[in-house]
Amino acid sequence: MPKHEPVLLKNMLQPGYTGSLADYERAGGYQALKKVVGKVAPADVTAMVIKSGLRGRGGAGFPTGVKWNFLPKDYKGTKYLCCNADESEPGTFKDRQLMERDPHQVLEGIAIACYAIGAETAYIYIRGEFVLGSKILDQAVTEARAAGYLGKNVLGTGVNVDIWVHRGAGAYICGEETALLESLEGKRGLPRVKPPFPATSGLYGKPTVINNVETLANLPHIVNRGPEWFASIGSPPKSAGTRIFCVSGHVKRPGNYEVPMGITCRELIFEQAGGMRGDKPLKAFIPGGASAPFLTPDHLDVKLDFESVAQAGSMLGSGGVTVMEEGTDMVWAALRLMEFFHHESCGKCSPCREGSSWLVQTLRRILAKRGRMEDLETLVQLCNNIAGRTVCAFGDAEVAPILSTLKYWRPEYEALIREAEAHRAHELPMAAARH
C-alpha cells in the first residue's frame, strides 16, 4: 500500500500530545473555525462539504452536506445538531479514541457544522459506558468556552454556538438516530416511525441534523486544506477521504488504523494489522461491525469503500473489522452475535422482539447437537420475516450474521445436525430395549 498521511489521528501520534486546548492550538486547532465563522456564508460551508464528498462515518454512509441541505431553507426558528457518540457496535472503537485523545478536534467540527446549518445548540449523545470520554469532553467544552470558541458571541462574531454532553443509559438502539432523539428528550429510546424525518421534525420537534463523531472530526481539515484535497484521497468520487478501521480478533496488531478509503481488505489485515495471530489461515471477517454480513478469504481483494463492499454482499458500516482464524466455529460466532442483538432489541416491533428470541433458541439447539435439518429452513424463514419489516434497520442488522454464515458455512450447521441425528438414531433402539 502506498504511504499515506494520517489526518484524524495525526495529533495523537505526536509525542507528548495530551489533547488539551493548548496542545490542540499548537497543532493548528480552531484555525478552521476562525476561517469560516462570520467570514464565509453558512451555505458556502455546506457547499464546501458537499464538494469534498464527505459521507457519514457512522454506518449509513449518507453524504454529509446533502444531509444538511435537507433542513428547511425558510425556517427561522431553533435548529439543533446532535453528535452521535453512542458507539455501541461490537468491534467498533474509533470514536472513543477520537473523543478521549483529541476532544477539541471533535468540538471544532461540531462548531463548524452548527454554523453551517444555523444551529446555536449542539448535543453530544455519548454512550453511557464512556465515563472517561464524557469527562474529557466536558473539560474540553469548558476550555473552549473560556477561550471564546464556544458560547455567546463566538470569536467576537455575534454567532452563538454551545455544546452539551449527554450520557446515554447503555442501549445499543440509541445509536439509531431517532431513538437517540427520543432518549435525549428523556423518553425511552425507541426508534420513531419516519416520516417525518429529523431534518424537519427532530429534537423537540425542531429541524435537526445528526452526524457521527468521525464525520464531524473531518470538518476542520476540509476547511483548512480545501474540499479538493479531501476529495482526492481514497476512492473518489463516492468514497473520498481517509477512514478509521477498527481491527480486532485473530490478528497480531489489533487497533485503530486510519487509511485511505479503497485499500483492500488484504492490505488492512495483513499489512496494517500484521496478519493472522498464530499464523493460522484466515477463515472469515466482518468488514463493518457486527451488523455487517460475514465475508471470506475470497473477498480479501475487495476494496474497502462503500460501493465495493456492498457489491461483495456486505457493508462498510461502522468500520469495525473483526477477523477470525481457521478453526473458529461459525455457528457459535453467529449465536454470540445473535445473543447480543436479542439482548439489545428495544421490543417495539414484534418481528424483531419475538423473532430474535426464536433465532437464539434455534441456534442454541443446533449448537447443543439437538437440531434437525428443518431448523435451517426455519432460520431462513425467521430471518426473512424480520428483515425489512421493522421500524428501523435493527432487524436487517440482526439477521446478517445468520444469513451470511448459512451462505458460506452451511456444512458446519449440517455437521452439527447430522451428529444430533446420529445420536438420536443410537438412542432410540436403546430406549426401546429398556422398555
Buried b / exposed e along 29-66 (16+ C-beta atoms within 10 A): bbebbeebbeebebeebbbbbbebbbbbbbbbbebbbe
pLDDT of residue 433 exceeding 70: no
Architecture per CATH, domain 11-231, reads as: 3-Layer(aba) Sandwich (3.40)
Handedness of CA 118, 123, 126, 132 (dihedral sign): positive
Q: Do 38 and 158 contact (CB within 8 A), yes or no? A: yes
At what angle are helices 103-117 and 42-52 packed, to 10 degrees?
A: 120
Residue type, 380: V
**251: helix, strand or coil:** strand
CATH fold of 330-430 reads de novo design (two linked rop proteins) (1.20.1440)
Q: Given this model, what pLDDT does residue 4 score?
A: 82
DSSP alpha helix (H) spans, 71-192: 94-101, 103-117, 131-146, 177-184
Can you tell me which residue has the cell 457493508?
315
Mean pLDDT of the chain: 95
What pLDDT does 432 receive? 57
Listed in order, strand segments (DSSP E) in 174-238 are 208-212, 234-235
Looking at residue 421, what is its pLDDT?
87
Give the per-residue pLDDT at 120: 98
Question: Model confidence over 360-395: pLDDT tens digits?
Answer: 999 999 999 999 999 999 999 999 999 999 999 999
Any residues with CB less than 8 A from the CB of 148 and at least 6 apart, and which?
Answer: 154, 155, 156
Q: CA-CA distances (angstroms) from residue 241 to 85, 136, 167, 176, 195? A: 20, 27, 29, 24, 31
Q: What is the pLDDT of residue 149?
A: 98
Mean per-residue pLDDT, 139-149: 98
Answer for the pair 330, 377: CB distance below 8 angstroms, yes or no. no
End-to-end CA distance of the chain: 70
For range 130-159, the mean pLDDT: 97
Phi-psi region of 327 (alpha: psi -120 to 50; beta: other; left: phi over 0): left
pLDDT of 1 strictly over 50? no
CA distance 400 to 389: 14
Q: Taking the domains of the chain in order of start, what are their residue ranges? A: 11-231, 241-325, 330-430
| Tens digit of each residue's pLDDT (9 = 90 or more) over 299-342 | 999 999 999 999 999 999 999 999 999 999 999 999 999 999 99
pLDDT score at 277: 94
Task: Classify domain 241-325 at the CATH class level.
Answer: alpha beta
